Structure 1
Amino acid sequence: MGFEQEAFDRLMRVTWGKRSQMQREMLRGGKGEPFVVHKLYAKGAMTPSQIASAMHATTGRVSTLLAGLEKKGQIVREPDPEDRRSVHVRLTESGEERAQRQHEDMREAICWIFSQMGERRTREFLDLTTEFTTYMTLCMPGKPRPTPEQVAEAFSENAQEDA
């Protein structure tokens, strides 16, 4: 077995087998109300079908989530003035406050982790994470591997974004 297989096995164990409490919470949040609140905060008003698409969930699941958020006073559903058959969902002030709290809680937790790692290792981690995710966007399971030109182009785009 080469280092690649050993690295893959370790990555799977670390990321999937030994999930931290934070990872479990983030995953749970990615499927429910926290996701919807974050998405509406980042994007502004959306239709329920747009939210369902972003969540990779059914419109029924989204309808249930929206009902819960509406009951808590964190969203409102408003008819589209141009198409009264369509509904737009937006955050209320309470929903925006929740989104800001969620963001701040995550920022504080991750900044604490970075403080434990130190500046040099944090920068190294971010550089390696950027490199790894760039390769992951190019290399899909069951698809042909990217050409050297595609790899170079992707890294060139990343360099421009980081500048």
Structure 2
Amino acid sequence: GTVTNVSLRQPAAAGAIVTLHGRFEILSLSGSFLPPPAPPGATSLTIFLAGGQGQVVGGSVVGELTAAGPVIVIAASFTNVAYERLPLEEEEEALQIQPPVSQASGGGGGINNNNNNPFPDPSSGLPFFNLPLNLPNCQLPVDGWAGNSAGRSQF
């Protein structure tokens, strides 16, 4: 879609607000809204625009964002927002210095040989896809998708 007369705060211009007059094509629009007690910086709307002469500009939206025509917005919503405080570096170092706690089980070798448990060890990964547990930036094999085993249904 397109917008007109946009005010942006650009990170390169320390706190300066730039007002753009005219029509601009939206290249990217992203943002987040978190209710209190979230910090004020957590809620923002960022936009990247293309001008008529081919220039590209972007920044955080300040004030109104007025559409100059139809704009398609895709949104996602999450309930029960939770905040998690990450540990400080000093806390991480203290955790690494402490030796891991082990159970004296009489020489089991640290492996759980309990045959009564029908569930596999969760740290072993995703056995139904033969993939390790933490495999970043990967695509599941095509044969792993349920809809791929049968032909396409007729309409």
Q: Which has the higher contact order (CA 8 A, sep 6+)?
A: 2
Range into which the TM-score falls when normalised by the shorter chain: under 0.3
Q: Indicate the structure (1 or 2) with the bigger Cα radius of gyration.
A: 2
Report the structure, 1 or 2, having the larger helix content.
1
TM-score by length of 2: 0.23
